[in-house]
Amino acid sequence: MTLDNIKPGQACRIVRVNLGGATGQRLMDMGFTPGAKVKIVRNAPLVDPVDLTLRGYHVSIRHQEAGGVEMEEL
């Protein structure tokens, strides 16, 4: 399952980031590393962005980026 398929209120754990290049590196720099717990706060009314909490702070990313983050449910 990928991060863009998680519903608001659900918590999950990152398995791996399947994005390369600058986008993948930027997500890793922001804390999207294997084992990190993520909770979806909400989806914007027009789908993008996804608002989530990660390592104690709020992050908003595009659905396209969220599709490259493989997750497992807690």
pLDDT score at 41:
94
pLDDT score at 38:
95
72, exposed or middle or buried, with CB in 10 Å at 0-12, 13-18, 19+? exposed
What tens-digit pLDDT sequence spans the chain (74 residues)? 999 888 899 999 999 999 989 999 999 999 999 999 999 999 887 778 999 999 999 999 999 999 999 999 98
Q: How far is the CA of 45 from the CAs of 14, 51, 59, in angstroms?
A: 25, 11, 17
Give dist(CA 6, CA 72) in Å, integer. Answer: 10
CATH number for the segment(s) 3-73: 2.30.30.90
Terminal CA-CA length for the chain: 12
The predicted model scores a pTM of 0.86
